[in-house]
Structure 1
Amino acid sequence: MVRLPLTPAEVERGRRLGALLRRARGDRPMLRTALDASVSPETLRKIESGRVATPAFPTVAAVAEVLGLSLDALWTEVNAPEGGTGAPGGRLAS
């Protein structure tokens, strides 16, 4: 299977997703968050840094659940124009 290169829009959405998850995690250790979500710390690190722009939905859903994020709000924020539409302080309601 040949994977097509990501579009600039996909790369930007991945960057937004990573930044949003990083903000939502706050001071919580990455290792604890990853283990609670049943993903590897390296996977979470790559998502948060934007190196994995299109992570699998179950991975995103697991991390969002651990962080108490609503998937609807997460989707809205990640797909919003630059600047976003999230709640004050960058924290999304669950």
Structure 2
Amino acid sequence: MVRLPLRPDEVARGRRLGALLRRARGPRSILDTALAAGVSPETLRKIETGRIATPAFATIASVAGVVGLSLDAVWDEVSCAPDLADSAG
């Protein structure tokens, strides 16, 4: 299966997701958060930095649960239209 390159809106959505999870994690370490969520610290780091723009739903759900975010809150944040800063990048 060939994976097509991500569209700019998908990249922007991934960046918003990463920023949201990073903010919600607060002072808690990536290691502690990742282990509690059952994902590798490197995977969480890549999500938070936008390098994994389309993580698996189960991964998002697990991390969101650990950092205290509802999936509704995650969807509200990542599904909004990109702002000017996102489209300039």
TM-score normalised according to structure 1 size: 0.85
For residues 43 and 70 of structure 1, the distance between their equivalents in structure 2, rounded to whole angstroms, comes to: 20
**2:18 — aligned with what?**
18
Identify if the C-alpha distance between structure 1 residues 5 and 82 changes in structure 2 by more than 3 Å, giving closer, same or farther.
closer
Runs (4+) off by over 4 Å:
none
- CA deviation vs aligned residue, 1:44-68 (integer Å, no higher than 9, x gap): 0000000000000000000000011
Would the aligned equivalents of 2:37 and 2:63 in 1 still touch at CA under 8 Å?
A: yes
For residues 74 and 55 of structure 1, the distance between their equivalents in structure 2, rounded to whole angstroms, comes to: 13
Which of the pair is proportionally richer in helix?
Answer: 2
SS state at 1:12 partner: helix
CA apart distance, 1:39: 0.1
For residues 81 and 54 of structure 1, the distance between their equivalents in structure 2, rounded to whole angstroms, comes to: 17
Matched, 1:45 2:40: no
Matched, 1:67 2:53: no
SS state at 1:51 partner: coil
Query: Mapping of 1:30-41 within 5 angstroms?
Result: 30-41=30-41
Q: CA RMSD in A?
A: 0.9
Structure 1 residues not aligned, in runs of 5+: 84-94
CA apart distance, 1:81: 2.6
Equivalent residue letter for 2:16: R
SS state at 1:60 partner: helix
TM-score normalised according to structure 2 size: 0.90
